[in-house]
Chains A and B, each alone.
Chain A
Amino acid sequence: MNHAIISCLHANLPATEAVLNDIDRQGIDTITCLGDLVGYGPQPNEVVELIRKRDIATCQGCWDEDIIDGLNACECSYPSQLAERRGHLAHQWTDDQLTDENKSFLASLPTSLRRDRLLFVHGSPNSQHEYLLPDMDAFAALERVDTAGADILFCGHTHQPYVRELRDGSIRVRLQNADHDCDQGEELTLPMRKIVNAGSVGEPRHGSTNATYVIHNDATDEVEIKEVPYDVGRTCQAIVEAGLPKVFAWRLSHGFEFAEQAEDASHVCER
């Protein structure tokens, strides 16, 4: 059976509607959302209400968490002070706009969802703020999936869709003991695991302005990355009209951003 995974809607209603229409057209009725319903974009209430109305299983994103708990991410989440100021501005605006009901919906979201051997999270199983980039250390990537007890990990947060297969892994170890130096080493065979990043519906950073999401077939394990065009101009205009930083509109209309993410992607702040 095919099911769809969407992430990082970021209060972009035209993009969210376009992606949901695309999924509906294919007759797929299981949809999982990996969070970041709000932030950056101009329609936070509309997007949250659409997800609620459609009753889409959703886990909490980094923006959803910060709106509920207050901005407690350390500066490491932002690459520059300018980016941080813009982030704070968008946070404040979103906080002012969101209704109490929609806030309590965001507060009620779980940090992960599990269906058999599939695990759904926003950033990583460790944190909503950890980036699993496509080129991160392969062993560390495998550790995230394996320690969480999953075969396939679905994540978002990087806004770059990808499918990564980790296989034929092994680690040889040898113990230097206090009592006796045992020379015979041991070899651990590592399991095959997959990471699927759903990209971003409302704030794509993969090089095009199209919204992205993924479809997974749970019988064949095949994954398809989908791109959906939508009316970018409509969202950009709404961003400007809302008084949000114009750079958010510029970014959407160019389809990339200057990697506004932590320099050290594996860094998890210890707040």
Chain B
Amino acid sequence: MIERWALVSGLLGDLETYDLIQRDLKKTRGVTSLFILGDLIGPKRNCDALLDRLKNPHRSDLKPDCIYGWWEEQLLAERGFRGERKADALRLSQGEDAVSALLNTVNPSHLNWLASLQFGFIELDCALIHGSSSDVGDNLTSETSPLILLDRLTRLNVNRLFTARSTKQFHLELTGGGINSQVKDLNGKREQQQEVPKRSVIGIGAGAHYTIYDVGSDKTHFLTASSQTNTKGMGFV
């Protein structure tokens, strides 16, 4: 079967948006997997209903495979699931109030399930991670230096990295180039040439903005879930 993935992130507890996406996916032909790349939770609203739905999907739902994101990392750290580390990144960027707001949005009964989520998935030659292998908060966009993007791909030895942290939708392909390297040691000198491998980094968006990826043709479709019945983006095959 030809695989077609749906990639979602940054729901931040928004069950209505998730429901819209599920409705969209029902109307989209051939979606085989739904990956949710973290930030299931957020500080602005109660997240329990969405977490319940993700843990216990409706019978008609495409079953989600979830990993954790930056907000889960903050919550889990603050709740003592990360050794001595606390929600330092959140505290530093948004202050103490933001930390207590986050704690209030998730019922502690969900913590063990959140803590069981993986950092990322490797599917075929693709990595699916909230940020990158460097850090869950790694903010990669199409503006990020290609040298850094290539480094993140190299670390995982994958051809495609799907990332969500920036909330942007983009599909940046590395199409060519190379580098010369000379190593001198006590045994002498050696030259080495390396070419840029054909690889890409894909930003999948956040919230209602999600991505469909056709594995066979390596094509991404950037969609937006909407409450209108005449959903845009249904035209593609």
Contacts and interface: CB of A to CB of B under 8 A. Distances in A.
A27 interface: no
B159 interface: no
A134 B183 contact: yes
Interface stretch (B60-68, B89-97, B167-175): B167-175
A225 B170 CA distance: 46
Contacts of B237: none
Interface in B125-150: 142, 145-148, 150
A139 B150 contact: yes
Given A137-B154, A162-B185, A175-B142, A143 B147 contact: yes
Contacts of A55: none
Contact of B147 (A146, A164, A168): A146
B183 A163 contact: yes
Contact of A139 (B179, B185, B186): B179
A188 B185 contact: no
Interface in A107-153: 134-135, 137-143, 146-147
B interface: dominant SS: strand
B130 to A, nearest CB: 13
Contact of A225 (B146, B155, B185): B185
Given A172-B174, A271-B83, A166 B181 contact: yes
Given A139-B151, A139-B194, A206-B185, A166 B179 contact: yes
Interface in A182-225: 185, 187-188, 190, 206-208, 212, 223, 225
A21 interface: no
B184 A190 contact: no
A32 interface: no
Nearest to B85: A271
Nearest to A226: B186
A198 to B, nearest CB: 12
A171 B177 contact: yes
B147 A177 contact: no
B192 interface: yes
B169 A143 contact: no
A237 B124 CA distance: 54
Contacts of B142: 175
5 contacts: A142-B179, A167-B181, A169-B179, A171-B176, A271-B83
Interface of B: 83, 142, 145-148, 150-151, 154-155, 169-187, 192, 194, 196, 220, 222
Given A170-B196, A171-B176, 12 more contacts: A138-B179, A138-B192, A141-B181, A146-B145, A164-B181, A165-B182, A169-B178, A169-B179, A174-B175, A188-B146, A207-B187, A225-B185
